[in-house]
């Protein structure tokens, strides 16, 4: 029987729309120092392996993974970078521990989005070069196409999507990390200029810079740690077919299958009954609703009513994105999922301050790798 | 082809087939531009280069002097402690005589990139730069060199504010 795995330390660097004062290395050092202090570990002695997430095009350096060891205390140690969201890195780290390869593993993810001068070109470079790119479409068009079909199939409305934006931006005001907390109304969202209709300017999460580092440990190593352990109960990840011509536009099948894998592992039969809150991907307003339905938190087509009735507000029956989500916190490239896990850990430790979900015992964090991908990951965390 | 196989079936492709559009490919590129934030350590390093000086950071944990400077010590994993001014002289650790430029253009006059350990920094800490005023045949590991700077008005706060490193001649 593989050992249980816990997150024993978490660290962040401040999330901001730009961070001209620090290099990505200094940002990583800041987050790592906090995480190691939180866990009570010395990375030069106590950590056996390091897993990072990054994409060369976001960084502007080929083979970027070679540039990470120094600022993590990982020089001359097993280090690897995987392509994927931060939650996929956590899955990788958990597997290293469960297979007995390492007992203490560090995970890192960051965004230095503001270093990119041509982010839209780079994002478009992710589209198929032969079939899609010659049409000249911006990558966020994919979200517009998906939103149209999702609203058509689910019966949810643009107004309800606008309520998601208002809720998350508002909730972010309680989160000192968040870059985009604001008091805005659904009408403000609907009145914003359209971008890729039905998407409007305020329906899309804005980018931010920042870094998260986490320390994971095997159960047998946890007793030597200072940090309060939060246990990993289950995880899963999934990628759908990439084709824009024939993908599943209405339903987030990748999220449904990733969640099913995680629910099975965690022994969860009824997500709504067995979870106390969720941090769900909301890179675009409709994604939060689509992901609620994919994760069986509500029935298909019901998510819109839930947001309308305030069920998913911080003071509602099932809070979604108490952190403020990507809409309120900022989109953090591959570190996005780690931000959601960071919030989940704080909630389960009872350290979320004014945005604490009372009595939270088990929470879920879910990520999506943004347009044009169909990749998502889910992790379920619980306290003892 | 091999001993046993002397003829492949089918029609072989020539470059003309591609050039004349008989075989279809789609060409394209990406406009990928960045402005990398230098940060605290390298920001100061570049500023000092503009002033014609080299600086390092000292770690009081391992007592090493690190150049290029960094705000953290990768050995001790702790913040470094102080700025240290270095001389603009050093010793060649390794070098190559490059007859081909970065973009594979062949050079008649070779360039001589070298790793130079800087005087005052810990052993093994130095910079990658170019050697000049030296016959490629004369370059040796262990050779003593000194920075040749651009004129102050030409300096931009960049690694190229040093033109190259020239040998220090005995007595001269």
Can you tell me the ipTM of this complex?
A: 0.93
Give A244-274 pLDDT, tens digit per residue: 999 989 999 999 999 999 999 999 999 999 9
Cα A28 to Cα A11, A115, A156, A270, B35, distances in angstroms: 10, 15, 40, 38, 18
Kindly provide the b/e burial profile for residues B99-138, where b requires at least 16 CB atoms within 10 angstroms of the residue's own CB: eeeeeeeeeeeebbebbbbbebbbeebbbebbbeebeeee
Within 8 A of B26 by CB-CB distance, chain A residues are 129-130, 134
Of B164, B161, B163, B170, nearest to B46 by C-alpha is: B161
B-chain CB neighbours of A73 within 8 Å are: 74, 77
Structure confidence at residue A94 (pLDDT): 98
Eight-class DSSP state of A356: -
- Which residues, listed in sequence order, are joined to residue A31 by a DSSP beta bridge? none
Closest CA to A198 of A211, A206, A189: A189
Contact A324, A164 (CB under 8 A): no
Give the pLDDT score at B67.
97
**pLDDT at res. B171:** 65
Say yes or no: B24 contacts chain A, CB-CB below 8 A: no
Query: How much is the mean pLDDT over chain A?
Result: 97
Q: What is the pLDDT of residues B130-172, one digit of tens each?
A: 999 999 999 999 999 999 999 999 999 999 999 999 999 876 5
Question: Min CA distance, B2 vs chain A (Å)?
Answer: 36
Quick one: which of A80, B141, A131, A255 has its CA closest to B167?
B141
Write out pLDDT tens, residues B62-109: 999 999 999 999 999 999 999 999 999 999 999 999 999 989 999 999
B10: pLDDT confidence band, cut at 50, 70 and 90?
confident
Specify the pLDDT at position B1. 64
Q: How far is CA A354 from CA A165, A321, A357, in A?
A: 20, 14, 9
| E strand or H helix at A69 | helix A69-72
Q: Are A172 and A324 in contact (CB under 8 A)?
A: yes
Question: Residue B11 — pLDDT band, cuts 50, 70, 90?
Answer: confident
Nearest CA in chain B to A22: B39
CATH class, A5-117+208-222 region: alpha beta
Of A29, A42, A57, the CB nearest to B71: A29
> Residue A359: which pLDDT band, with cuts at 50, 70 and 90?
very high
Contact A75 B75 (CB under 8 A): yes
Nearest to A26 among B34, B35, B71 (CB): B71
Interchain contact B75–A (C-beta under 8 A):
yes
Torsion angle (degrees, nearest 10) of CA A71, A72, A73, A77: -120
Helix intervals (H) in A101-173: 119-124, 141-154, 158-171
Spell out which residues of chain B touch residue A29, defining contact as CB-CB under 8 Å.
71-72, 79
- Extract long-range pairs of A127-135: CB within 8 Å, 24+ residues apart: A127/A244, A127/A372, A128/A242, A128/A243, A128/A244, A129/B26, A129/B28, A130/B26, A131/A244, A131/A245, A132/A244, A133/B28, A134/B26, A134/B28
Tokens of A106: 């560090």
The answer to whether the CB atoms of A26 and B36 lie below 8 A apart is no
Q: What are phi and psi of A273, to 5 degrees?
A: -75, -40
Question: Which pair of tokens denotes residue B82?
Answer: 């102080």
pLDDT score, position A38? 96
Buried b (16+ CB within 10 A) or exposed e, A167-200: bbbbbbbbbebbbbbbeeebebbbebeebbebbb
Contact across the interface for B72 and A112, Cβ inside 8 Å: no
pLDDT tens-digit map of A55-102: 999 999 999 999 999 999 999 999 999 999 999 999 999 999 999 999
CA-based nearest distance A123→chain B, Å: 10
User: Which residues of chain A does B28 touch, with a Cβ-Cβ cutoff of 8 Å?
Assistant: 129, 133-134
CB contact under 8 A, A60 and B34: yes
Structure tokens at B70: 């960094």
Query: Please, are residues A304 and A155 in contact by the beta-carbon 8 Å criterion?
Result: yes
User: In the numeric block, which tokens belong to residue A107?
Assistant: 């995970």
pLDDT surpassing 90 at residue B5: no
Per the CB < 8 Å rule, is A29 touching B72?
A: yes
């Amino acid at each position: 029987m593989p050992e249980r795995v816990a997150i024993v330390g978490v660290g962040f660097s401040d999330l901001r729309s730009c961070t001209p004062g620090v290099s990505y290395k200094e940002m990583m050092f800041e987050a790592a120092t906090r995480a190691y202090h939180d866990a009570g570990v010395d990375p030069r002695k106590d950590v056996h392996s390091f897993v990072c997430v990054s994409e060369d095009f976001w960084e502007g350096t080929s083979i970027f993974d070679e540039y990470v060891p120094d600022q993590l205390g990982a020089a001359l140690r097993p280090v690897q970078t995987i392509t994927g969201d931060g939650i996929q890195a956590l899955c990788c780290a958990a597997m290293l521990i469960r297979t007995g390869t390492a007992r203490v593993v560090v995970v890192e993810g960051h965004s230095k989005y503001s270093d990119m001068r041509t982010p839209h070109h780079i994002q478009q470079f992710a589209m198929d070069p032969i079939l899609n790119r010659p049409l000249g479409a911006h990558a966020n068009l994919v979200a517009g196409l998906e939103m149209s079909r999702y609203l058509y199939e689910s019966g949810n409305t643009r107004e309800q999507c606008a309520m998601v934006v208002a809720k998350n931006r508002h909730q972010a005001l309680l989160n000192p990390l968040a870059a985009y907390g604001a008091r805005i109304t659904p009408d403000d969202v609907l009145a914003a200029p359209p971008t890729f209709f039905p998407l409007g300017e305020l329906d899309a999460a804005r980018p931010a810079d920042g870094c998260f580092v986490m320390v994971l440990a095997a159960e047998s190593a946890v007793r030597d740690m200072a940090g309060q352990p939060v246990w990993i109960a289950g995880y899963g990840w999934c990628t759908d077919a990439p084709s824009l011509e024939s993908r599943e536009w209405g339903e987030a099948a990748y999220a449904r299958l990733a969640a099913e894998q995680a629910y099975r592992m965690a022994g969860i039969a009824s997500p709504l009954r067995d979870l106390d809150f969720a941090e769900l991907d909301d890179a675009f307003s409709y994604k939060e609703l689509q992901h609620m339905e994919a994760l069986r938190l509500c029935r298909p087509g019901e998510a819109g009513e839930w947001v309308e009735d305030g069920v998913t507000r911080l003071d509602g029956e099932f809070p979604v994105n108490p952190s403020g989500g990507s809409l309120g916190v900022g989109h953090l490239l591959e570190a996005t999922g780690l931000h959601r896990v960071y919030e989940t850990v704080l909630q389960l430790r009872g350290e979320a301050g004014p945005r604490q979900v009372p009595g939270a015992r088990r929470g879920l964090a879910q990520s999506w790798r943004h347009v044009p991908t169909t990749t998502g990951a889910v992790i379920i965390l619980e306290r003892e | 082809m091999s001993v046993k196989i002397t003829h492949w079936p089918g029609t072989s492709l020539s470059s003309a087939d591609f050039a004349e559009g008989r075989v279809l490919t789609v060409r394209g590129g990406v406009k990928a531009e960045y402005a990398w934030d230098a940060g605290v350590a390298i920001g100061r390093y570049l500023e000092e280069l503009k002033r014609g000086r080299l600086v390092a950071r000292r770690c009081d944990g391992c007592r090493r002097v690190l150049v290029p400077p960094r705000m953290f010590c990768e050995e001790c994993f702790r913040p470094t402690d102080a700025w240290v001014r270095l001389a603009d002289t050093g010793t060649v650790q390794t070098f190559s005589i490059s007859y081909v430029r970065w973009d594979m253009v062949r050079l008649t006059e070779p360039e001589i990139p070298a790793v130079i350990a800087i005087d005052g920094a810990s052993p093994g800490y130095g910079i990658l730069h170019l050697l000049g005023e030296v016959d490629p045949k004369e370059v040796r590991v262990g050779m003593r060199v000194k920075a040749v700077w651009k004129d102050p008005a030409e300096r931009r706060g960049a690694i190229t504010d040093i033109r190259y490193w020239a040998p220090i001649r005995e007595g001269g």
